[in-house]
């Protein structure tokens, strides 16, 4: 689940690709290095991938271009339509979310997402880690890129910077959605049987690589 923010994407879908290209100054830092972030996810992925929250299909396209077998999942009909237009009708996008989703008819070695995991609250994130731990084989991976913070002090300082810059939408977003602290995410995945590693890509976005 974690579908409570889906309404935001009804309005955002059409302009989403302009956002990731840095059109809105409020979100320029969040999406700085977007292309490199998606490429890093592809490099860390195995051959058979579930992707959650495909959005307009940017990561899906890169995964497919790299020859991966991808099982794409997206709960927003608006985003799904845009992804279908970009990827072509040969790619089937499945309705589902980070917690409730159909399973592919083959084994999966990697579960990926970009800018999605913060839609789950802490309890749901723990549930998701346990679910992925049960689904993946030993050596399988979760590779998630998203906004997260090293500490509460860093979170508060980035919220304060957004306030000082007059970035009201960014500030409200950081305060509204469930952007986690890295030590909390590490603990949730380690409790579910994963070894975790985090790499920072800009002031907001890190990639979690969790290996079972
Ligand atoms: C910020 S966009 C990211 C899209 C894309 N992954 C990218 O990197 O550009 C977040 C996406 O997650 C989807 N989403 C929202 N809640 C979700 C959930 N609980 N499970 C899976 N996807 C979700 C939204 O519909 C949207 O397509």
Angle subtended at Cα 168 by Cα 98 and Cα 78, rounded to the nearest 5 degrees: 40
Q: Whose CA is nearest to atom 20 of ligand 1?
A: 97
Determine how β-strand 48-52 pairs with β-strand 205-211.
unpaired
Q: Is residue 99 a contact partner of residue 2, using CB atoms and an 8 Å limit?
A: yes
pTM: 0.96
For residue 146, pLDDT beyond 80: yes
Angle subtended at Cα 84 by Cα 119 and Cα 102, rounded to the nearest 5 degrees: 55
Rounded to whole angstroms, the Cα distance separating 116 from 97 reads 10
Distance 16 CA to ligand 1 centre (A): 11
Helices (H), the chain: 6-12, 16-20, 34-44, 58-65, 77-87, 122-135, 152-164, 168-176, 182-191
Q: Give tens-digit pLDDT for 11-57.
A: 777 888 988 998 999 999 999 999 999 999 999 999 999 999 999 99
Q: What is the mean pLDDT of residues 110-116?
A: 98
The set of protein residues with a Cβ atom below 6 angstroms from ligand 1 is 2-3, 5-6, 9, 20, 52-55, 58-59, 74-76, 79, 97-98, 114-116, 119
Q: What percent of the chain has pLDDT over 70?
A: 97
pLDDT of residue 16: 85
């Amino acid at each position: 689940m974690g579908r409570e923010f889906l309404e935001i994407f009804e309005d955002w879908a059409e302009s989403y690709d302009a956002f990731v290209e840095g059109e809105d100054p409020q979100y320029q830092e969040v999406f700085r290095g977007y292309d490199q972030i998606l490429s890093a996810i592809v490099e860390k992925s195995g051959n058979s991938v579930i992707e959650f929250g495909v959005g307009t299909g940017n990561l899906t396209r890169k995964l497919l271009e790299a020859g991966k077998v991808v099982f794409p999942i997206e709960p927003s009909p608006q985003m799904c339509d845009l992804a279908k237009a970009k990827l072509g009708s040969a790619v089937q996008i499945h309705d589902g979310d980070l917690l409730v989703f159909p399973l592919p008819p083959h084994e999966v070695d990697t579960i990926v997402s970009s800018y999605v995991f913060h839609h789950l609250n802490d309890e749901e994130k723990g549930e998701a880690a346990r679910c992925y731990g049960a689904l993946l084989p030993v050596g399988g991976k979760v590779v998630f890129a998203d906004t997260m913070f090293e500490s509460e002090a860093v979170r508060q300082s980035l919220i304060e910077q957004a306030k000082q810059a007059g970035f009201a939408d960014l500030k409200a977003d950081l305060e509204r959605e469930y952007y986690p602290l890295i030590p909390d995410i590490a603990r949730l995945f380690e409790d579910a049987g994963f070894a975790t590693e985090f790499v920072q890509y800009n002031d907001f976005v890190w990639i979690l690589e969790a290996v079972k």
